[in-house]
């Protein structure tokens, strides 16, 4: 469980739930499309959501037992957009996310700006990702009341991170603290997906 949810410099939450206490972080396979690729595809399709929030929404729906299949899969996320051709950037985001969440080696990553981006941009994207996750989770079939105690705490802490106004300076210590928060979010998502979404990910991976 996280030590703190209102996260400031040096106050990254630390999650210690069950088998996810020390989740390894292998190189994700298959890799996600890059954030600029996804943002460009969203802009070209006139879809009013950014890449981080869309990826969070996908992960949230899948972690709540929802399914994303067929060319109209954006409809399941309540996102207005054109039908997605197989193999396109957005469809690759869907299929690679499904594969990462189903990976027994926990090869899952969040679609966020890389470490070279400005710290403020990374913080803003993390907040958008978490808001997307919560929105997607709410569209799934899982009920927060049916979650384990750890699952409920993970969901509540993701909500707090989504709403928090994180204030970091552009220095190495704060960048490290942000990485710890990102890792906490990753592990919390793996926990929630393990409780609700494993079958969903496998059944829609086509």
* Residue 135, in any domain of the structure: yes
Note whether 104 and 198 are within 8 A (CB).
Answer: no
Q: What is the mean pLDDT of residues 16-24?
A: 49
Positive or negative: CA dihedral 24, 157, 126, 8: negative
- Work out the pLDDT band at 83, boundaries 50, 70, 90: confident
Q: What six digits make up the tokens of 31?
A: 């890799």
Q: Is 1 inside a domain boundary?
A: no
Residue 17 has pLDDT above 50, yes or no: no
Rounded alpha-carbon distances, angstroms, from residue 172 to 140, 164, 168:
38, 21, 10
Predicted pLDDT of residue 106: 85
Mean residue pLDDT across the chain: 83
In a domain, 20, yes or no: no
Residue 193 lies in a domain: yes
CB atoms within 10 A of CB 117: 13
Q: Is the pLDDT of residue 89 over 80?
A: yes
> Secondary structure of 60-104 in the HEC alphabet?
HHHHCCCCCCCCCHHHHHCCCCCCCCCCCHHHHHHHHHHHHHHCC
Assigned domain for 13 exists: no
Evaluate if residue 59 carries a pLDDT over 50: yes
Residue 50 lies in a domain: yes
**CATH number of domain containing 192:** 1.20.120.740
Q: pLDDT confidence of 169, banded at 50, 70, 90?
A: low
Instruction: Name, in order, each residue with C-beta under 8 angstroms of 100's C-beta and a sequence gap of 6 or more.
Output: 28, 29, 30, 32, 107, 108, 109
Count the alpha carbons within 13 Å of 82 in the hemisphere toward its beta carbon. Answer: 12
Convert the pLDDT of each residue in 28-42 to its tens digit.
668 999 999 999 999
Domain that holds residue 148: 35-199
Whether residue 6 has pLDDT greater than 50: no
Query: For the chain, what is the domain count?
Result: 1
Q: How far apart are CA 178 and CA 106, in angstroms?
A: 20
Least reliable range by pLDDT among 52-61, 97-106, 128-137: 97-106
Residue 3: pLDDT over 70: no
pTM of the model: 0.84
Whether 132 is in a domain gets the answer yes
Question: Do the beta carbons of residue 18 and residue 147 sit within 8 Å?
Answer: no
16 lies in some domain: no
Provide the pLDDT confidence category of residue 52 given band limits of 50, 70 and 90.
very high
Q: Give residue 117's pLDDT band: very low, low, confident or very high (50, 70, 90).
A: very high
């Amino acid at each position: 469980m996280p030590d703190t949810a209102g996260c400031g410099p040096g106050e990254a939450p630390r999650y210690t739930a069950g088998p996810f206490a020390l989740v390894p972080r292998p190189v994700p396979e298959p890799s996600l499309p890059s954030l600029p690729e996804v943002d460009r595809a969203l802009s070209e399709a006139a879809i009013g959501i950014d890449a981080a929030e869309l990826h969070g929404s996908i992960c949230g729906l899948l972690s709540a037992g929802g399914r994303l299949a067929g060319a109209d899969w954006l409809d399941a996320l309540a996102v207005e957009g054109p039908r997605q051709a197989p193999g396109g950037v957005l469809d690759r985001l869907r299929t690679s996310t499904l594969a990462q969440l189903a990976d027994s080696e926990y090869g899952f990553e969040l679609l966020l700006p890389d470490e070279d981006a400005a710290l403020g941009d990374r913080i803003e994207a993390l907040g958008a990702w978490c808001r997307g996750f919560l929105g997607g989770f709410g569209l799934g079939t899982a009920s927060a009341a049916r979650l384990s105690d750890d699952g409920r705490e993970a969901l509540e802490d993701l909500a707090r991170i989504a709403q928090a106004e994180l204030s970091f300076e552009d220095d190495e210590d704060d960048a490290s603290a942000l990485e710890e928060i990102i890792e906490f979010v990753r592990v919390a998502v793996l926990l929630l997906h393990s409780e609700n979404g494993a079958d969903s990910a496998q059944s829609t991976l086509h």
